[in-house]
C-alpha cells in the first residue's frame, strides 16, 4: 500500500463523531412505476427518517419513473389484471381505452380526499428529511433516461453502491 | 439533560393538531415539531388516525423521546410527548 492509499484508508476509517450512537438504517428498493406502488416505499422512507433513521430508496426498472421529472406526476394505476384496483372491471373491459385513466382518477381522488400527499409532495418530504434517492444506472442506460431527465438531488448508482448502503441497514425491503 | 416528568413539568411548549391525517403524516409532522423543541419540552399532539395509538408510542421508542400520556376522547387521541429521554 502506498503512503497516499494508507492516508486515505485512515481518513475513511476515522469515525466522524466518536461518541455518536449508530443510527438505524432502512434500505428500500422501488421497482414499480405505478401510482399505487410508488406510495409504500415513500411512506416507509419518510416514516423511517421521521424516527431518526437513515433511509435510502433504490429506484430501479419501472420504479425509476418515480424520480423522472416528467413522469413523476403522471404515474397511473393499472386497470387490467388488477383485481384490487379502484374500479372493479373484468379484464376484458379493463383493456378498453380510458380504463387506466379512470382507475388513476379514482385513486387520485381517494388520496386527495384522505389528505394524503401526492407522489411529488412525498418526494419533496423525503428530500427534506435527507432520504437518499438512488437512481439505478443500468435502468437509465436500458431505458434511455438521462441524468437531466431526473429530479435534482438523486444519486445515480449501480447495484454495488446500493448494496454498500444496504449492507449495514437494519431493515431492507423490496417493493 | 435529565428531565423528571411531573405535573409541574407538563407545561406544553407546542401543540400539533393532526386531526384527519393518516399515516405517515402524524409521525412526519410530529418529527418536524419535535425538531423545533428543546430537550425536555413537551409537545401536545392531537390525532384521529386509529393507527396513531400504536405509531406514536413506537415513534417515541425509536427516537428516544418520552411519551408522558395518551388520552382517548372518542375518536380523538391526545398525546403528551417530551423531547428526549427522561430519567
Q: Flag whether pLDDT at B43 surpasses 50.
A: yes
Q: Flag whether pLDDT at B87 surpasses 90.
A: no
CA separation for the pair B52, B21 (Å, rounded) = 10
Total domains in chain B come to 1
Distance from CA of A129 to the nearest CA of B (A): 9
B39 found inside a domain: yes
Average pLDDT over residues A134-148: 97
Q: Domain holding B73: CATH number?
A: 3.30.110.40
In terms of CATH architecture, what is A24-75+119-169? 3-Layer(aba) Sandwich (3.40)
Rounded (5°) CA angle B24-B29-B35: 130
Q: Flag whether pLDDT at A21 surpasses 90.
A: no
Output the average pLDDT for chain A. Answer: 91
pLDDT computed for residue A90 by the predictor: 85
**Burial class, A27, CB count within 10 angstroms (exposed 0-12 / middle 13-18 / buried 19+):** buried
pLDDT computed for residue A80 by the predictor: 87
- A52/B30 CB distance under 8 A: no
- Using pLDDT thresholds of 50, 70 and 90, give the confidence band for residue A95: confident
Average pLDDT over residues A112-116: 97
Which residues contact residue A138 at a Cβ distance below 8 angstroms, ignoring those fewer than 6 apart?
Answer: A60, A158, A159
Domain span holding position B44: 7-82
Interface test with B, best of A21, A28, A41, A47 (most B CBs within 10 A): A47
Higher-confidence residue of A114 and A94: namely A114
| Contact yes or no for B65/B83 (Cβ under 8 A) | yes
Distance from CA of B37 to the nearest CA of A (A): 15
Q: Tell me: the pLDDT tens digits for B58-85?
A: 999 999 999 999 999 999 999 999 999 9
B18 noted as active-site residue: no
Which residues contact residue A79 at a Cβ distance below 8 angstroms, ignoring those fewer than 6 apart?
Answer: A85, A87, A89, A94, A95, A99, A100, A102, A103
- A46/B59 CB distance under 8 A: no
Residues of B in contact with A50 (CB under 8 A): 24, 27-28, 30-31, 59
Higher-confidence residue of A172 and A12: namely A172
Higher-confidence residue of A93 and B5: namely A93
| Percent of chain A whose pLDDT exceeds 70 | 89
Is ipTM over 0.95? no
- Using pLDDT thresholds of 50, 70 and 90, give the confidence band for residue B9: low
B87 found inside a domain: no
Q: Is B55 helix (H, G, I), strand (E, B) or coil?
A: helix
Of B5, B13, B23, B78, the active-site residue reads B23
Higher-confidence residue of B86 and A51: namely A51
Buried b (16+ CB within 10 A) or exposed e, B53-78: eebbeebbebbebbbbeeeeeeeebe
pLDDT computed for residue A14 by the predictor: 53
Q: Flag whether pLDDT at B3 surpasses 50.
A: no
C-alpha cell at A116: 394524503
pLDDT computed for residue A87 by the predictor: 86
B1 found inside a domain: no
- What are B47's strand-pairing partners? B18, B77
Which residues contact residue A40 at a Cβ distance below 8 angstroms, ignoring those fewer than 6 apart?
Answer: A175
CA separation for the pair B2, B61 (Å, rounded) = 17
Domain map (residue ranges) of chain A: 24-75+119-169
Q: At residue A153, what are phi and psi to the nearest 5 degrees?
A: 95, -5
pLDDT computed for residue A52 by the predictor: 97
| Contact yes or no for A119/A42 (Cβ under 8 A) | yes
Higher-confidence residue of A79 and A167: namely A167
Higher-confidence residue of B24 and A15: namely B24
Average pLDDT over residues A43-60: 98
Amino acid at each position: 500500500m502506498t503512503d497516499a492509499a494508507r492516508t486515505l484508508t485512515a481518513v475513511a476509517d476515522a469515525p466522524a463523531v466518536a461518541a455518536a450512537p449508530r443510527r438505524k438504517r432502512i434500505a428500500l428498493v422501488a421497482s414499480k412505476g405505478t401510482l399505487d406502488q410508488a406510495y409504500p416505499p415513500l411512506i416507509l422512507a419518510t416514516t423511517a427518517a421521521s424516527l431518526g433513521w437513515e433511509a435510502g430508496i433504490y429506484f430501479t426498472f419501472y420504479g425509476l419513473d418515480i424520480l423522472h421529472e416528467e413522469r413523476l406526476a403522471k404515474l397511473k394505476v393499472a386497470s387490467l389484471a388488477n383485481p384490487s384496483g379502484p374500479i372493479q372491471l373484468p379484464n376484458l373491459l379493463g383493456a378498453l381505452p380510458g380504463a387506466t385513466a379512470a382507475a388513476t382518477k379514482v385513486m387520485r381522488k381517494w388520496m386527495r380526499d384522505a389528505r394524503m400527499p401526492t407522489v411529488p409532495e412525498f418526494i419533496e418530504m423525503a428530500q427534506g428529511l435527507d432520504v437518499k434517492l438512488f437512481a439505478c444506472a443500468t435502468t437509465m442506460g436500458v431505458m434511455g433516461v438521462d441524468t437531466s431527465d431526473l429530479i435534482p438531488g438523486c444519486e445515480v448508482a449501480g447495484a454495488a453502491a446500493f448494496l454498500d448502503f444496504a449492507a449495514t441497514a437494519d431493515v431492507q425491503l423490496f417493493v | 439533560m435529565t428531565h423528571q416528568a411531573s405535573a409541574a413539568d407538563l407545561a406544553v411548549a407546542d401543540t400539533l393538531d393532526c386531526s384527519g391525517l393518516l399515516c405517515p403524516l402524524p409521525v412526519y409532522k410530529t418529527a418536524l415539531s419535535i425538531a423545533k423543541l428543546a430537550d425536555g419540552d413537551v409537545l401536545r399532539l392531537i390525532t384521529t388516525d386509529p393507527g396513531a395509538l400504536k405509531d406514536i408510542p413506537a415513534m417515541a421508542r425509536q427516537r428516544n423521546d418520552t411519551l408522558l400520556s395518551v388520552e382517548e376522547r372518542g375518536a380523538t387521541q391526545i398525546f403528551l410527548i417530551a423531547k428526549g429521554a427522561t430519567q
